[in-house]
């Protein structure tokens, strides 16, 4: 049996002060292109090799059928000459006309004649599509030769994972920046937001910038402020200090845990408004992350009895009122990454950005009856608060002062039974 490949034949933090912005000494384990073990996105392999492998998989394969298989059904012959593919996949490719016998489209049950030549063009598997450029619209807030800041809409996944192999921000970055992005680990992505969380995130455009941003995240000089709507009358301000790890009863969820299984996590919050909706108290809060564990804000707020409105995973902490239908059919966690501050990797200049609350969450805020202080900025915007530290001792749930290192919020895909 002779097999060949026809190349080219494809098928149709706590100290939120500008004065604290300082890279300091670079961590020894933050070498170029590396992310620490608890960082958000596993692995450091660049996108380019994966893309090339995917292209190779799509090249046509040709085989001359052995005499002893002559007369057998095509699907059975394919299973024997291409054992690396499952029979169901091969049958699907026959139906998609990815298989030709002597240059002609074939059918699953047709007999294969003596001396026939079979040509197969495999389709890309979902995981191979993960690093394929796709023309996705990206809401670019800021862009230069070193970094790009994106305002991510709710519903968009940042990085490919099981169940979301395509249509991600990474695919859009590969399309927008081509080989420059393909040559970077994770196309320059250094942190993520949950699928249904909207707001700002920064992406590196060079390896040097990516390394610098990872170090800033580890040193907590990247400042991130979220706007969240939570059930109940939460206290005016405070700190939630509680380790987070996998929920022992449901491994696709995160939870406040004790012992070695939990990583230290700290969230600072400040209430900016409150209201009553159907006689149920609701609070609007700002959250600043000192660490960045998976689903940190959502887990922490639920742990102190104030889950986020609309949260389909952690919203049951307060019973019926956290799962009641919200105005306008709002059906995601009410969480928006509103402010982002960092030191520019090249110029060393402190920079900040702001993303207006998206329409769906803005409509929810109005429908719930939240008021705005006269003469104040929207949603309690306070430059001084963004630049100052939270000093309240806050909630402490079984966590000791220790190594609050970086492990940025992960993709919403985990809520859909996809472990990290």
Distance of CA 107 to the CA centre of its chain: 41
Q: From CA 138, how far away is CA 205, in angstroms rounded? A: 15
Q: How are strands ordered across the β-sheet holding 2-6? A: 2-6, 60-64, 117-120, 99-101, 104-105
**237: helix, strand or coil:** strand
Report phi then psi at 319, rounded to 5.
Answer: 75, -145
Contact partners, residue 391, CB within 8 Å, separation at least 6 = none
The two structure tokens encoding residue 189: 């992505």
Q: From CA 101, how far away is CA 99, in angstroms rounded? A: 7
Q: From CA 242, how far away is CA 262, in angstroms rounded? A: 9
**Which is the catalytic residue, given 25, 38, 144, 194?**
194
Contact partners, residue 388, CB within 8 Å, separation at least 6 = 16, 17
**85: helix, strand or coil:** coil
User: For 111, which DSSP code?
Assistant: B
C-alpha dihedral (230, 235, 240, 242), degrees to nearest 10: -80
Distance of CA 202 to the CA centre of its chain: 12
**How far is residue 89 from each of residues 35, 108, 165, measured CA to CA in Å?**
36, 12, 18
The two structure tokens encoding residue 103: 């240059």
Strands (E), 242-356: 244-246, 254-256, 266-277, 280-289, 335-343, 350-354
What residue spans of 160-204 are helical by DSSP H?
169-177, 179-182
Residue of 223, 251, 268 whose CA lies nearest to 22: 223
Task: Point out which residues pair with 254 in neighbouring strands.
Answer: 246
Only one residue has tokens 């995130």, namely 201
- Residue 41 · residue 159 · CB < 8 Å: yes
**Is residue 102 annotated as a catalytic residue, yes or no?**
no
* Catalytic annotation, residues: 194
């Amino acid at each position: 049996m002779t097999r060949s490949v026809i190349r080219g034949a494809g098928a149709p933090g706590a100290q939120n002060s500008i004065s604290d912005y300082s890279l300091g000494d670079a961590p020894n384990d933050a070498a170029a292109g590396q992310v620490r073990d608890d960082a958000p996105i596993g692995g450091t392999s660049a996108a380019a090799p994966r893309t090339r492998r995917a292209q190779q998989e799509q090249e046509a394969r040709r085989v001359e059928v052995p005499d002893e298989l002559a007369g057998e059904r095509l699907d059975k012959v394919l299973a024997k000459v291409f054992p690396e593919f499952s029979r169901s996949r091969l049958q699907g490719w026959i139906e998609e006309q990815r298989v030709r016998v002597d240059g002609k489209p074939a059918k699953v049950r047709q007999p294969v004649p003596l001396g026939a030549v079979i040509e197969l063009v495999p389709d890309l598997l979902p995981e191979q599509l993960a690093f394929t450029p796709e023309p996705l619209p990206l809401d670019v807030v800021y862009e230069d030769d070193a970094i790009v800041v994106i305002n991510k809409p709710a519903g968009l996944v940042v990085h490919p994972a099981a169940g979301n192999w395509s249509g991600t921000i990474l695919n859009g970055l590969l399309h927008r920046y081509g080989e420059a992005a393909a040559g970077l680990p994770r196309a320059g992505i250094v942190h993520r937001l949950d699928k249904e969380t909207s707001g700002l995130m920064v992406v590196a455009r060079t390896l040097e910038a990516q390394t610098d941003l990872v170090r800033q995240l580890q040193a907590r000089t990247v400042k991130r402020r979220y706007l969240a709507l939570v059930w109940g009358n939460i206290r005016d301000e405070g700190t939630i200090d509680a380790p987070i790890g996998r929920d022992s009863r449901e491994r696709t969820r995160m939870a406040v845990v004790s012992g070695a299984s939990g990583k230290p996590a700290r969230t600072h919050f400040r209430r900016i408004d409150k209201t009553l909706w159907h006689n149920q108290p609701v609070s609007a809060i700002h959250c600043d992350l000192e660490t960045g564990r998976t689903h940190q804000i959502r887990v922490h707020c639920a742990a102190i009895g104030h889950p986020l409105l609309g949260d389909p995973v952690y919203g049951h902490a307060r019973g019926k009122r956290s799962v009641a239908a919200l105005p306008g059919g709002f059906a995601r966690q009410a969480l928006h990454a509103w402010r982002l501050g960092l030191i520019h990797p090249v110029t060393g200049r402190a920079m900040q950005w702001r993303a207006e609350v998206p329409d769906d969450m803005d409509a929810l805020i109005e429908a719930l009856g939240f008021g705005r202080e006269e003469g104040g900025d929207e949603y309690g915007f306070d430059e001084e608060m963004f630049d100052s530290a939270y000093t309240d001792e806050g909630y402490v749930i079984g966590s000791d002062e220790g190594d609050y290192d970086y492990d940025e919020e992960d993709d919403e895909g985990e809520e859909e039974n996809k472990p990290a």
